[in-house]
Amino acid sequence: MMVALSACQSTPTTLYQQVGEQAGLERLVDAFIKQIGQDEVVFPYFKQTNVSHFRAGFITHMCDVLDGPCTYEGDNMVQIHTGMKINEHDFNHTVDLLIAAMNEVRLSHSLQNKILARLAPLRAQIIKI
Ligand code: HEM
């Protein structure tokens, strides 16, 4: 019985794999950065930001959060976002830009929901600080 059961179990795929591993994640983050660059609400927050540093850090952070083979060792979410005083509206708007990016790279809605569920708990570490 145990043998039969274990033979039926397929290796679970991580969210990182479902996004398309490193190449898929890079496409997603590039689409997100393009969305931010075109957005008059969110772009002002990034005026002083080094885009290539942000791109590399955001990719590694997402890889880590989506159970990929990465460990994010940059500053934590509170350290990074302290002083930005991001309100609910601007946070939600940024999430909308991420959703637009996920649509652009054609992630399924069920995968999008799983990714957003991983990011949602970080909200309290990012807003109103
Ligand atoms: C769940 C939502 C979010 C996550 C997971 C997240 C994650 C990150 C990460 C990992 C970095 C560091 C990248 C690096 O290594 O340089 C970063 C930087 C940054 N984030 Fe967020 N962030 C989120 C929401 C937001 C929102 C809503 C805003 C503003 C509206 C924002 C503004 C910024 C800015 C301006 C930087 C760059 C800071 C700098 O120039 O050093 N973030 N974020």
Dmax over CA atoms of the chain, in Å, equals 61
Measured from the Cα of 50, ligand 1's closest atom is 40
Can you give the residue ranges of every domain in the chain?
14-125
0.90 surpassed by complex ipTM: yes
Pocket, ligand 1, Cβ cutoff 6 A: 42, 45-46, 48-49, 53-54, 57-58, 61, 74, 80-81, 84, 86, 90-91, 94, 119, 122, 126
Q: In sequence order, what E strands does 5-125 have?
A: none
Provide the pLDDT for residue 128: 86
What integer pLDDT is reported at residue 22 of this predicted model?
98
| Residue range 68-105, pLDDT digits in tens | 999 999 999 999 999 999 999 999 999 999 999 999 99
| Residue 19 pLDDT level (bands cut at 50, 70, 90) | very high
Nearest to 30 by CA among 84, 104, 80: 104
Fold for the domain defined by 14-125: Globin-like (1.10.490)
Average pLDDT over residues 10-17: 89
81 is in an annotated binding site: yes
Residue 19 in contact with residue 25, Cβ under 8 Å? yes
